Amino acid sequence: MTTSAPITPLTPTQQRVAQHLVDGLGPQEIAARTGLSAVTVRQYVRDIRESLHCPPRCKPPVIVHFLCSARQVAPPATDRSMPELSPEQQLLLRAVAEHSNPSDIAAIAKIAPADVRAAHDELLAKTGAANTTQLVVWAHAWGLLGARRVTTMESGARQ
């Protein structure tokens, strides 16, 4: 499902917070690096989500995917070579980038809900990513998660 509402460009402060999200930092770490309070950082993250038309409870990897897809933040370059992923692993990669709910991830990846954790852990191990946010960032840097048109976003991260 897509929305035709345009993505609101981020303010300079939102852009800095967004870049820290892409770098894998949480609100407390972002607050420490920017001098903002953690409460203010959380508000900026909510504002970023709204700007991108992300659902309220989507997790950081989904926000990072939407940020990179909308070209609001460029994914950092990686010196890691792109692993060869099976079609099933590519489907799981897209599912974890676009969805936060494990049952949605299972449905999109076409695997049993009980198998999501094991398949996810295998994908992290194969890519060498420390966590899902890093996996999504690297996948964008490798060109595995294509950019979307800037004027529309899928609401695939529903909760």
Q: 102-109 and 87-98 helices cross at what angle (nearest 10)?
A: 150
In this predicted structure, what is the pLDDT of residue 4? 54
DSSP assignment, residue 80? S
Alpha helices by DSSP H, listed for the chain, are 12-22, 27-34, 38-52, 60-69, 87-98, 102-109, 116-127, 132-141
Bridge partners (DSSP) of residue 2 are: 154
Domain definitions of the chain by residue range: 1-159
Residue with tokens 């960032």: 137
**Structure tokens, 1:** 């499902």
pLDDT digits (tens, 9 = 90+) for 5-51: 678 889 999 999 999 999 999 999 999 999 999 999 999 999 999 99
Q: Which amino acid is at 155?
A: S
CA–CA distance, 75 with 127 (Å, rounded to integer): 16
Mean pLDDT of 52-67: 91
Q: Which amino acid is at 153?
A: M
CA–CA distance, 121 with 130 (Å, rounded to integer): 10
CA–CA distance, 65 with 136 (Å, rounded to integer): 6
Q: Which amino acid is at 91?
A: L
Nearest alpha carbon to residue 132 among 41, 64, 85: 64
Residue 11: which residues within 8 A CB-CB, separation 6 or more?
none
In this predicted structure, what is the pLDDT of residue 147? 53
pLDDT digits (tens, 9 = 90+) for 78-128: 888 999 999 999 999 999 999 999 999 999 999 999 999 999 999 999 999
pLDDT digits (tens, 9 = 90+) for 126-155: 999 999 999 999 999 999 997 543 333 333
In this predicted structure, what is the pLDDT of residue 25? 93
